[in-house]
A = this chain, B = another copy of it.
Amino acid sequence: MTEARGERAGRPPSTSARAVELIALELFGEQGFEDTTVEQIAERAGVSSRTFFRYFDSKASVLWHQFDQEVATLRSAFDAVDDELPLMEAIRVVVVGVNRYRAQDVAELRARMHLIGSVPALAASAASRYEPWEEAVSEYAGRRRGESADALVPLAIGRTTLAACRAAFDRWVAVGDADLTVYLDAALRALATGFVDEPH
């Protein structure tokens, strides 16, 4: 009978996932990912390490907290895109559009992507984190092509789209002379042409 709850109940959380995330990013930047223990993060956040693992599944999960939420954005963008566009063009428009980060977030994004790219343990965790993102693309491709998202080509489209975007991210982190969207657009255009040898 006590179903409908007004606002909240029980003891309020000591902190928030976002706050812990920022502390973790700070420590990772100071002394590296491997040399930072969960206990250090928890201590600076004012909680026990046991509580850290209630906020995040693993030490690596901290880096993906923001990203996980962006998959929903991606899905809704696919729902809104014009289906008159050729398939790969629609995907490019959606992906580039979703990645127009606000200027204030660029520094944090860059730090995060740099860590993911340079720390083996984080690169390893990437695969499972990117999976929902890939699936969103595969499902759109399947819908457009009238097949299951599990079919070979939709699956390949999801995977290769992510692969092209990761290449763009890596180049952007390494060079960074232009906006991220420029790199993404170039990589996805190349993918859509099948990487033809440009006649010069």
Chain A residues with a Cβ under 8 A of chain B: 86-88, 120, 123-128, 141, 144-145, 150-153, 155-160, 162-164, 166-168, 170-171, 174, 183, 186-187, 190-195, 197
A168 to B154, CA, bound (A): 11
Q: Name the B residues within 8 Å of A120 (CB-CB).
A: 128
- CB-CB nearest in chain B for A151: B171
Q: Name the B residues within 8 Å of A170 (CB-CB).
A: 155
A125 to B125, CA, bound (A): 8
CB distance from A137 to the nearest CB of B (A): 11
Cross-interface CB contact of A164 among B150, B159, B193, cutoff 8 Å: B159
A194 to B174, CA, bound (A): 27
Q: Name the B residues within 8 Å of A190 (CB-CB).
A: 152-153, 156
With contacts A126-B127, A127-B126, A162-B163 taken as known, whether A88 is within 8 angstroms of B157 at the C-beta atoms is no
